[in-house]
Structure 1
């Protein structure tokens, strides 16, 4: 049982909180869905699909240093793969019960996430391709997947402004994804994984993240403005001010002290951005419902 407890730790279920903004973003963009379906989609993605991907990644990476959500990860055992397969089956099975199309999308998401780490493919060794795959599937693809899960037809989702919102999701992921690699350059280099952050370097990673986040924000605000959702512009800017403040401070501190580029600051950046952006979209939903 202790082996399974350690394996469950490597599934990093709490780390799923960092992927919540896309879920809330999708819900904030639409109306007329059943709450129970939204809850089901949330549980399938955040308690099953995302942890299964995390566990599979840990199984093949066998990290000895800090990883997302775990400063000191336990050793990998075969029990981890048992849990990964169990979570995979539950995610796909429950997804199929909710909607065959949603179940198919969950299946595709899980397969692609495995290609990221599987030693026979290991997209992680290809910085540009892996960045595109990760940001597309965790961003735009997930945005569409959530809308399909709560009952919207693909024909409804694949049109403006939803397709524009999906692009915003990917741009936001483009900003956050290389930041999750910024403190792992040494370990990635030893494993032979050429991550985007490793290629860009510390300063380049910060600049790339800032440009992607700025472009995503500009597109989001434009879409809100052109769809008469000006109120959402103010909500988003106010709620994400802590993200700008922390990111700017982190960049400035790291210029004077390279030790600031560490696990703790990376996780703090992820936490602040995830909670701030999620809060913005939740407030939009509440305001829309009651005002």
Structure 2
């Protein structure tokens, strides 16, 4: 029933690209507990995100490259049931921490389903899908991870010390999100999905991303300097340097030949470089901000 093609569509390794938000939340968690850390990680990265990937793939029925799959196999009904099974497991694992965290996992899952389900299909609404995807994959995920790691509930969504760093992650995602769509214009247009990148055009997508990356950089700088963490500010600049250089290089090639350089390979390398840089930086920030090594 659950064929190999269905498992491929879960794109479990792709969860690595969403790991920076989890690590950033870990850096602010007041109550570190190894069991909760493991449960939150498994619930989100091994089951919830793959569930979302598989569910959306089932309704999208992509024939061209998608994030994490250069040549996606054809989908079948087994993928639909497998994605729901993974969603259920994610909820059960979350419930082992507390009901509120499980509720947040359910909210995230339902919103992700609305992205591609034909009855709602947020993907057809360029600005709404951009706002929703950036908010839920960034700020909401940060708050959700923070709640699970700390054994808190929905009240974290009203706490400024949680919302502010969470919104910083959304700022970065609002810049990078259109870039993940920039090589899918033809297939999206064929399905009638007017994504934000399709609406902006190829060069417009890069300019739009540039603005949001600048806003995110300034916001992170303010955040670290306001906390008297100049060391984090300089560390962030160092981490972002290869990401910025790659983005500028890619953009320069795209301006010369959009058709040749607006493709899956270039987009995925953008994802890889930014994910590696942010994972390394946030893990280092977690160690320094919590001073956990001194405790050990």
Task: State the TM bucket, normalised to the shorter chain.
Answer: over 0.9
Q: Does 1:289 align with 2:292?
A: yes
Per the alignment, residue 29 of structure 1 pairs with: 28
Deviates more, 1:23-32 or 1:205-214: 23-32
Instruction: Indicate the SS of the match to 2:69.
Output: coil
Per the alignment, residue 224 of structure 1 pairs with: 224
Matches within 5 A, 1:210-289: 210-258=210-258, 259-287=260-288, 288-289=291-292
Instruction: Indicate the SS of the match to 2:199.
Output: helix
For the residues of structure 1 that align with 2:249 and 2:81, how far apart are their CA atoms? 42
Q: Which runs of 5+ in 1 are unaligned?
A: none
Per the alignment, residue 166 of structure 2 pairs with: 166
For the residues of structure 2 that align with 1:270 and 1:229, how far apart are their CA atoms? 27
C-alpha distance 103-156 of structure 1, shift in aligned 2 (>3 A): closer
For the residues of structure 2 that align with 1:43 and 1:241, how far apart are their CA atoms? 31
Matches within 5 A, 1:189-200: 189-200=189-200
Deviations 1:23-68 (A, max 9, x none): 1111123343213212211111111000000001110010000010
Aligned partners of 1:116 and 1:130 also within 8 Å: yes
For the residues of structure 2 that align with 1:119 and 1:13, how far apart are their CA atoms? 24
Q: How many residue pairs were aligned?
A: 290
Deviates more, 1:274-283 or 1:36-45: 36-45
For the residues of structure 2 that align with 1:148 and 1:175, how far apart are their CA atoms? 26
Per the alignment, residue 90 of structure 2 pairs with: 91
Matches within 5 A, 1:89-128: 89-128=88-127
Deviates more, 1:9-18 or 1:148-157: 148-157
For the residues of structure 2 that align with 1:29 and 1:47, how far apart are their CA atoms? 22
TM-score by length of 1: 0.96
For the residues of structure 2 that align with 1:102 and 1:32, how far apart are their CA atoms? 15
Q: Does 1:53 align with 2:85?
A: no
For the residues of structure 1 that align with 2:101 and 2:30, how far apart are their CA atoms? 19
For the residues of structure 2 that align with 1:115 and 1:150, how far apart are their CA atoms? 26
For the residues of structure 2 that align with 1:30 and 1:222, how far apart are their CA atoms? 21
Q: Which runs of 5+ in 2 are unaligned?
A: none
Aligned partners of 1:240 and 1:280 also within 8 Å: no
Instruction: Indicate the SS of the match to 1:236.
Output: helix
Deviates more, 1:36-45 or 1:61-70: 36-45
For the residues of structure 2 that align with 1:10 and 1:159, how far apart are their CA atoms? 36
RMSD value, Cα: 1.4
Aligned partners of 1:243 and 1:272 also within 8 Å: yes
For the residues of structure 1 that align with 2:86 and 2:156, how far apart are their CA atoms? 30
For the residues of structure 1 that align with 2:19 and 2:49, how far apart are their CA atoms? 11
C-alpha distance 69-134 of structure 1, shift in aligned 2 (>3 A): same
